[in-house]
């Protein structure tokens, strides 16, 4: 029997009263791709941070290639042949690829010999693994997929035999993700060991050999990928059966609710973010906007939500709304029947230091039913309302007096969704409704969105998760570089076609 490349035995780690990792043991065989899957907060990142020397485990042992190894910091991890590719890249934006690769691994005081050595090595690595990157390109000028390759090259340059990738496809288009998987396959053939951390079941099924499931700090199972199925993995992750597919009847579109005509947005930095965008949404339908993050979707939501400014025409129920910000803000939008679940609940949707009840009133604090008289707010009424909403949206724990930051991501999102949906808006703007939300809550939130549609409301859904777009939308528009590349019907398109549109390759007219 071969020795495992990595073996963890009985790893435990607590942060204060929170047990992030409980007695975790795992064996990763050399030359395999091992997936670690689990919901947010299941302890995947903590476990990998221990392996990479960012945290010290409270208990447990680490064996690398059968040898017991202490990893007090990342230098030791690198020395042990471990390389890590973080979700958020750690690159110097205005350095070239070559300089980034060498950074921290220089041979001496003078840079020139190191750079020369790195250049020849990069060429070799490129040939060996089909990892082509221009060594003299500046990081900020190359795409996200390329930047990720640089991260992988950095690890390989430091002679990593074990590569850990943390949610590597979060920022990639489907095509870029496929390329990444091809590279990973190639690395595996060359005998490298790869640990892939993800929450996407599809990726696990597609590329891994073995998969370990984590739930609430514990390793609940390790299985051969070919012997398992997505529903089984989902059940292992959540601890109960989950509906992966959203149940919905065909849409019955009614009157026109939102008309956007030739919308243009230039942000405060002078960058043209949204370019001549036009679309419509009718009552009782969901328009999904797909696209890689940063292609103008955020600005589109912000303009419609009333706190970014644009040019063009936007009609709600046939009446135009002000886009200049001179006569409008988030308050006036709400009065016009637009509710908004923002993309970033921690930065915009919630005030993390406010208690749940204060957050339920947020944005609607002028509502007459929240006022005691002209002078004072009726805090007791808000608290009652909050307790009621928390119960109906299954927010746990259902305590209006807890601060927003003490809820889990899924429950925070439920607070925001409860607040916005319960307003019974004509148009609901939803940005990344399930980002950082556990599977159980995703199922719930999706159901609520579909239910609102079935009540005859118009919904604009922006998401970078293609699965989400595909399963929820009645129509799909794809944004790239501020433009809408095209509209498709979910039953008449596929991930590949959408992926091409997301990468800016215009398909044949639909």
Partner 1 sequence: MEKMPKWADIFLIPLVSLVLAAIFSAIVILAIGEDPWAAVKLMVKGALGSTYAWGYTLYYATNFIFTGLAVAVAFHARMFNIGGEGQAMLGGLGVALVCLYIPWPHWSLALIGASVGAALFGAAWTAIPAFLQAKRGSHIVITTIMFNFIANALLVYLLVNVLKPVGMMEPATSKFPKLIQLPSFRDMFSTADTIMFRGAPANITFFVAVAACVAVWLLIWRTRLGYELRAFGHSESAAKYAGINPTKIIMVSMLISGGLAGMMAINNVMGEAERLVLNAVEGAGFIGIAVALMGRSHPFGVFLAALLFGFLYQGGAELALWTSIPREMIVVIQALVILFTGALDNMVRMPLERLFLGLRRKPAAKPAAAE
Q: How far is the CB of 206 from partner 1 (least distance, A)?
A: 37
CA 105 and chain centroid, separation: 31
User: Minimum distance between the CB of residue 92 and partner 1, rounded to whole angstroms?
Assistant: 27
Q: In the complex with partner 1, which residue's Cβ is closer, 364 or 480?
A: 364
Contacts with partner 1 by CB under 8 A lie at 16-18, 305-307, 329-334, 340, 342, 347-354, 358, 361-363, 365-366, 371, 375-377, 379, 406
Structure-block tokens of residue 27: 């064996």
Q: Closest distance between partner 1 and the C-beta of residue 408, in Å?
A: 12
Mapping DSSP onto H, E and C, the string for 196-226 reads: EEECCHHHHHHHCCEEEEEECCEEEEEEEHH
How many CB atoms are located within 10 Å of the residue 379 CB?
A: 13
| C-beta closer to partner 1: residue 358 or 474 | 358
Give me the least distance between CB of 140 and partner 1, in Å please.
24
- Which CB, 128 or 353, lies closer to partner 1? 353
CB of 306 to partner 1, least distance (A): 6
DSSP 247: P
| Residue closer to partner 1 (CB basis): 123 or 405 | 405
Q: How far apart are CA 83 and CA 122, in angstroms?
A: 16
Give the 3-state secondary structure of residue 404.
helix
Alpha helices by DSSP H, 285-369 = 297-305, 330-335, 356-360
CB nearer to partner 1: give 200 or 414.
414
Cβ proximity to partner 1: between 105 and 352 the closer is: 352
DSSP string, 388-449: HHHHHTT-SS--TTSBGGGS-HHHHHHHHHHHHHTT--SEEEEESTTTT--HHHHHHHHHHH
Nearest in space to 183 (alpha carbons), one of 214, 207, 218, 217: 207
Is the Cβ–Cβ distance between 350 and 415 less than 8 Å? yes
Q: How far is the CB of 330 from partner 1 (least distance, A)?
A: 3
Decide: 12 and 24 in contact? Cβ < 8 Å: yes
Alpha-carbon span 85 to 485, nearest angstrom: 31
Min separation Cβ 353 and partner 1, Å: 5
Q: Which is nearer to partner 1, 135 or 342 (CB)?
A: 342
Minimum CB separation of residue 256 from partner 1 in Å reads: 25
Measured from the CB atom, is 90 or 405 closer to partner 1? Answer: 405
Sequence-ordered alpha helix ranges (H) in 220-327: 230-238, 297-305
């Amino acid at each position: 029997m071969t020795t495992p490349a990595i073996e963890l035995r009985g790893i435990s780690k607590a942060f204060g009263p929170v047990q992030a990792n409980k007695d975790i043991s795992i064996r990763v065989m050399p030359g395999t791709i091992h997936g670690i899957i689990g919901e947010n907060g299941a302890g995947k990142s903590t476990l990998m941070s221990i392996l990479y020397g960012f945290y010290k485990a409270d208990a447990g042992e680490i064996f690398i290639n059968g040898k017991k190894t202490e990893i007090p910091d990342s230098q030791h991890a690198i020395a042990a042949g471990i390389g890590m590719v973080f979700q958020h890249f750690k690159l110097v934006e205005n350095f070239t690829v070559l300089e980034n690769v060498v950074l921290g691994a220089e041979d001496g005081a003078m840079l020139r010999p190191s750079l020369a050595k790195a250049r020849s090595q990069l060429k070799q690595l490129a040939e060996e693994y089909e990892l082509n990157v221009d060594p003299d390109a500046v990081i900020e000028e190359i795409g996200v997929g390329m930047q990720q390759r640089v991260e992988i090259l950095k690890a390989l340059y430091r002679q990593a035999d074990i590569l850990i990738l943390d949610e590597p496809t979060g920022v990639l288009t489907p095509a870029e993700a496929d390329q990444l998987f091809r590279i990973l396959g190639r690395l595996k053939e060359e005998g490298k060991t790869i640990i892939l951390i993800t929450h996407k079941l599809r990726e696990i099924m597609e590329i891994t050999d073995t998969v370990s499931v984590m739930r609430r700090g514990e390793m609940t199972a390790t299985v051969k990928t070919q012997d398992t199925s997505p529903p089984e993995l989902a059940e292992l992750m959540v601890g109960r059966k989950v509906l992966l597919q959203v149940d919905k009847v065909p849409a019955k579109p009614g009157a026109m609710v939102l008309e956007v005509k030739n919308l243009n947005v230039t942000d405060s930095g002078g960058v043209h973010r949204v370019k001549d965008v036009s679309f419509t949404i009718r009552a009782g339908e969901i328009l999904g906007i797909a696209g890689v993050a940063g292609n103008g979707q955020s600005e589109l939501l912000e303009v419609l939500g009333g706190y970014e400014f644009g040019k063009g025409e936007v009609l709600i129920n046939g009446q135009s709304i002000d886009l200049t910000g001179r006569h409008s803000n988030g308050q006036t939008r709400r009065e016009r029947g637009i509710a908004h679940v923002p993309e970033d609940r921690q930065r915009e949707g919630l005030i993390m230091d406010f208690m749940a009840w204060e957050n339920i009133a947020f944005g609607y604090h002028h509502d007459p039913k929240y006022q005691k008289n002209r002078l004072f707010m009726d805090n007791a009424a808000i608290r009652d309302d909050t307790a009621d909403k928390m119960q109906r949206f299954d927010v746990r724990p259902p305590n209006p007096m807890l601060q927003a930051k003490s809820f889990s991501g899924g429950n925070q999102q439920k607070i925001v969704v409860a607040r916005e949906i319960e307003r019974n808006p004509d148009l609901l703007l939803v940005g990344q409704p399930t980002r950082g939300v556990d599977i159980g809550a995703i199922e719930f939130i999706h159901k609520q969105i579909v239910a609102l549609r079935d009540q005859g409301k118009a919904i604009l859904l922006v998401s970078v998760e293609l699965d989400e777009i595909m399963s929820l939308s009645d129509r799909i528009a794809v944004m790239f570089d501020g433009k809408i590349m095209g509209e498709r019907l979910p039953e008449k398109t596929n991930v590949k076609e959408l992926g091409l549109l997301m990468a800016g390759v215009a398909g044949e007219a639909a």
